Amino acid sequence: MVLDGQDRWRLNNALPISSQIYALLRDRIVRNEFAPGERISEAEIAKLCEVSRQPVREAFIKLAGENLLEIRPQRGTIITKIAYTAVLDARFLREAIEADIVSILASRSDTALVRELRDQVSRQRELGQSRSAEFIQLDEHFHHTLAQEAGKGGAWKLLEGLKSQMDRVRFLSLSQFPIGRLVAQHSALVDRIERGDVSGANAAIRTHLREVLTDLPSILAANPQFFDLPDGTVLQPANAPIQGGIDHEH
């Protein structure tokens, strides 16, 4: 699927149309190119893609299921705000799943896998701070590799649908993305997998996946209009405190 200028989006007719429209819209929403509160319509997207409204409707329904769109009958469809509680829930679930994934990998340390992971970390390190969006792609590939090699590709696919709100936060933080620290954490995780250090790998991935909590207060302060806060308050995560001094009661 290729974005063709500003007038239309070119789709591959050999592939499912609805899935392509879903992927294109999801990517733009996650990258915050479509802002919360912005209206989009089936008719406009169908025109851009030069298709009927049916596959667009199917894509909208799937995006609404991920809480990225709110479909209001007779009133239109809008981009949702980032659900703060969904960010915390997705991070919590991701930590639980990936902790088991790296424990599996460390318990059967594989030389070929370690070599592949080190190659990936080297490519991440070469990007530098100015290419945060590219780092996010490499980071996704790194974590996907961990899941695949542990035989948990299905669990990763499930996570992809759950962590869309978390991904929106990551793209809001591009200007302050701690690439150096994240790469160092990836490298330390690979070291523990190589040594067969199950408890160390488990601890390393948990520390790594709690990194997003460090930046949440400043991201919220800079972009309050992007977030949907329950009752206007900031909840503490269940298993890791938010950094930066925010300390609200549940």
Is residue 143 located within the same domain as residue 188?
A: yes
Is residue 176 pLDDT above 60, yes or no? yes
Is residue 132 pLDDT above 90, yes or no? no
Q: Residue 219: what pLDDT?
A: 87
Per-residue pLDDT, averaged over 190-211, amounts to 95
Lowest-pLDDT choice from 32-36, 52-56, 91-95, 126-130: 126-130
* Structural domain of 122: 83-232
**Contacts of 68 by beta carbon, 8 Å cutoff, 6+ apart:** 25, 26, 29, 30, 79, 80, 164
Q: How confident is the model at residue 74 (pLDDT cuts 50, 70, 90)?
A: confident
CATH number for the domain harbouring residue 218: 1.20.120.530
Q: Which tens digits make up the pLDDT trace of 216-230?
A: 888 888 888 899 887
- Domain contains 25: yes
Q: How confident is the model at residue 248 (pLDDT cuts 50, 70, 90)?
A: very low
Per-residue pLDDT, averaged over 137-144, amounts to 95
Is residue 105 located within the same domain as residue 227?
A: yes
Listing DSSP states for 151-174 in one string gives T-HHHHHHHHHH-HHHHHHHHHTG
Is residue 211 pLDDT above 90, yes or no? no
Is residue 120 located within the same domain as residue 212?
A: yes
- Domain contains 48: yes
